[in-house]
């Protein structure tokens, strides 16, 4: 294919996407020199009843050669291309030869969790879920960034790659004590002709050895093997085994890979994990492109499951922190019940809870968008039963987390209201003590010898102090309260 066809595709992309995705069009124009080739591409070839064969494609020139060398025969050609990042030369090579819709690339570049971009820059699905989808997921990075002094006010970093994703160590409650989190995407598109088909999967690059902070030109170093735990939890709240479920059948690799050679996805680079997993499974039929794109969806499911597991642990940890202020003072269940929800009102605590509720609403929206992208809202989707159930269980888990946080908010408000009522009751009780004292003082002051400073004034204290002690006994001690309630019940006519 002549080079002018690729240039025409870039012009088409710029003219059709500049209004909705101006940042992406500008980003492609700014790519120069080696940046136009920055990225990784692989092709996975499928044949019925055979394990797929994966091969790396190093340059855009090699990609063009891959299309030009395709055999012109009656044999069906079924290829899945995996591209990491959005390098310009690869985009125009794919677009010109496969006639890829320009919106496929521009929608993947959009940051999925911008403040308003989540709603305004993410239009409703306007494509067929049988040959295209875009999935969003929260990817956790079990690393630490070595911050500079100026970073303390804002711990929001950016991954330095052809796809700019932000990173934050914040938990759903706003604390900066969790694993680094980035919202990433997986995009799929396919085209079929007869029994042959070509498909493209776009994935985000992995976290590198440095990140950017704001407009600072100084990179921040990433520690991929921190000495301190990234997510330190009590044993009772920890995850048994790996946070990431495999979603991979145990028997799939037994007949092709020796047990000592079996590897599991590291969940660091989706590109590497897909090239690892695809050759492990032979498929009886490879005619359906959605079925052949199952590995990327399994990895997204695994990332979502791990994220919700971490959220569940964070909610349990926050509830424990809010309910008992000093856990060291709890010796038994009676102490736990007596000290639960006795913390004074703190605006920061309420802000943390409302932030968590807001974050979970956003997570719920992203999950529902994924279900719509896969067509799970329609009874005619192409996913197998177990995968459809897995997505719906994630939605149920999110709903459960939302209800737990809402319950914490209501409990916190009720506990605060009860403490305020008790405080008002104590003030009233104190007032009831001073009323009889005032009455006694008034009576004694009617006679000059009993007035303050006179010879018989001491009699006032003899009468008043026992009354005060008796009132304190009945109002502020457990024994006195029980005795008072008992007397009240005995004298009650009911």
Residue 288 — pLDDT band, cuts 50, 70, 90? very high
Q: Could you give the 3-state DSSP secondary structure of residue 179? A: coil
Question: Token digits for 401?
Answer: 């987390």
Render pLDDT for 389-409 as a digit per residue (tens, 0 to 9).
Answer: 999 999 999 999 999 999 988
**HSE value, Cβ hemisphere, 13 Å, CA-based, for 407:** 11
Give the model's pLDDT for residue 254.
45
Lowest mean pLDDT across 133-142, 253-262, 272-281, 383-392: 253-262
Give the model's pLDDT for residue 230.
72
Render pLDDT for 49-99 as a digit per residue (tens, 0 to 9).
Answer: 999 999 999 999 999 999 988 766 678 899 999 999 999 999 999 999 999
Give the model's pLDDT for residue 280.
87
Residue 374 — pLDDT band, cuts 50, 70, 90? very high
Render pLDDT for 92-139 as a digit per residue (tens, 0 to 9).
Answer: 999 999 999 999 999 898 766 554 444 555 656 667 788 899 999 999
More confident residue, 148 or 9: 9
User: Is residue 44 a contact partner of residue 54, using CB atoms and an 8 Å limit?
Assistant: yes
The helix (run of H) or strand (run of E) holding residue 200 is strand 196-203
Give the model's pLDDT for residue 88.
94
Give the model's pLDDT for residue 78.
95
Give the model's pLDDT for residue 429.
61
Lowest mean pLDDT across 109-118, 301-310, 419-428: 109-118
Residue 258 — pLDDT band, cuts 50, 70, 90? low
> What integer best gives the mean pLDDT of the chain?
81
Per the listing, tokens 């070839």 go with 45
Render pLDDT for 437-467 as a digit per residue (tens, 0 to 9).
Answer: 566 666 655 566 666 666 666 766 776 777 7
Alpha-carbon span 242 to 153, nearest angstrom: 33
Give the model's pLDDT for residue 64.
93
Give the model's pLDDT for residue 251.
40
Residue 250 — pLDDT band, cuts 50, 70, 90? very low
User: Is residue 226 a contact partner of residue 217, using CB atoms and an 8 Å limit?
Assistant: no
Tell me the average pLDDT across 211-219: 84
Alpha-carbon span 134 to 299, nearest angstrom: 14
Is residue 154 over pLDDT 60?
Answer: yes
Give the model's pLDDT for residue 158.
84
User: For the chain, what are the domain ranges?
Assistant: 3-414, 425-491
Q: Answer whether 0.85 is exceeded by the pTM.
A: no
Give the model's pLDDT for residue 117.
43
Give the model's pLDDT for residue 417.
77
Is residue 435 over pLDDT 50?
Answer: yes
Burial class (CB in 10 A: 0-12, 13-18, 19+), 291: middle
For residue 387, count other CB atoms closer than 10 A to its CB: 18
User: Is residue 57 a contact partner of residue 37, using CB atoms and an 8 Å limit?
Assistant: no
Task: List, as one string, the DSSP characters of 346-404.
Answer: -HHHHHHHHHHHHHHHHHHHHHHHHHHHTTTTSTT--S-HHHHHHHHHHHHHHHHHHHH
Is residue 484 over pLDDT 70?
Answer: no
Residue 412 — pLDDT band, cuts 50, 70, 90? confident
Tell me the average pLDDT across 203-229: 86
Distances (CA, A) of 96 to 23, 80, 109, 157, 470: 22, 17, 19, 35, 93
Give the model's pLDDT for residue 321.
82
Is residue 48 over pLDDT 60?
Answer: yes
């Amino acid at each position: 294919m002549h080079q002018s066809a690729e240039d025409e595709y870039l012009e088409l992309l710029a003219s059709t996407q500049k209004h909705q995705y101006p940042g992406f069009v500008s980003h492609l124009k700014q790519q120069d020199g080696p940046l136009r080739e920055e990225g990784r591409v692989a092709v996975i070839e499928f044949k019925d009843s055979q394990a797929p064969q994966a091969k790396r494609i190093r340059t855009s020139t090699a990609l063009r050669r891959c299309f030009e060398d395709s055999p012109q025969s009656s044999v069906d050609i079924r290829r899945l291309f995996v591209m990491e990042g959005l390098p310009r030369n690869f985009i125009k090579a794919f677009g010109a030869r496969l006639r890829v819709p320009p919106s496929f690339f521009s929608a993947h570049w959009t940051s999925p969790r911008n403040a308003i971009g989540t709603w305004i820059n993410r239009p409703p699905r306007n494509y067929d879920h049988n040959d295209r989808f875009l999935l969003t997921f929260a990817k956790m990075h079990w690393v630490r960034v070595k911050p500079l002094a100026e970073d303390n006010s804002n711990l929001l970093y950016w991954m330095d790659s052809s796809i700019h994703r932000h990173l934050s160590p914040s938990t759903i409650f706003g604390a900066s004590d969790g694993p680094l989190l980035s919202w990433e995407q997986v995009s799929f598109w396919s085209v079929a002709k007869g029994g042959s088909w070509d498909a493209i999967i776009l994935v985000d690059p992995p976290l590198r050895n440095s990140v950017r902070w704001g407009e600072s030109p100084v990179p921040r170093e990433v520690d991929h093997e921190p000495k301190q735990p990234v997510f330190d939890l009590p044993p009772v709240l920890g995850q048994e085994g790996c946070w990431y479920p495999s979603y991979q059948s145990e028997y799939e690799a037994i007949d092709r890979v020796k047990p000592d050679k079996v590897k599991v996805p590291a969940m660091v680079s989706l590109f590497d994990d897909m090239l690892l997993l695809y050759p492990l499974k032979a498929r009886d039929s490879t005619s359906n492109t959605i079925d052949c794109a199952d590995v990327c969806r399994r990895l997204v499911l695994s990332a979502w499951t791990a994220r919700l597991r971490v959220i569940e642990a964070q909610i349990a940890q926050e509830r424990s922190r809010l309910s008992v202020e000093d856990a060291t003072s709890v010796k038994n269940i009676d102490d736990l019940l007596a000290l639960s929800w006795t913390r004074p009102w703190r605006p920061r605590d309420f802000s943390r809870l409302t932030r968590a509720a807001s974050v979970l609403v956003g997570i719920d929206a992203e999950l529902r968008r994924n279900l719509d992208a896969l067509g799970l809202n329609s009874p005619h989707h192409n996913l197998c039963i177990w995968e459809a159930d897995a997505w719906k269980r994630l939605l149920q888990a999110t709903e459960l987390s939302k209800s737990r946080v809402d319950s914490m908010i209501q409990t916190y408000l009720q506990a605060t209201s009860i403490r305020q009522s008790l405080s008002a009751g104590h003030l009233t009780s104190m007032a009831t003590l001073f009323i009889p004292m005032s009455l006694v003082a008034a009576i004694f002051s009617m006679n000059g010898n009993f007035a303050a400073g006179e010879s018989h004034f001491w009699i006032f204290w003899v009468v008043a102090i026992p009354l005060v002690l008796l009132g304190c006994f009945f109002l502020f001690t457990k024994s006195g309260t029980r005795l008072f309630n008992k007397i009240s019940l005995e004298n009650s006519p009911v």
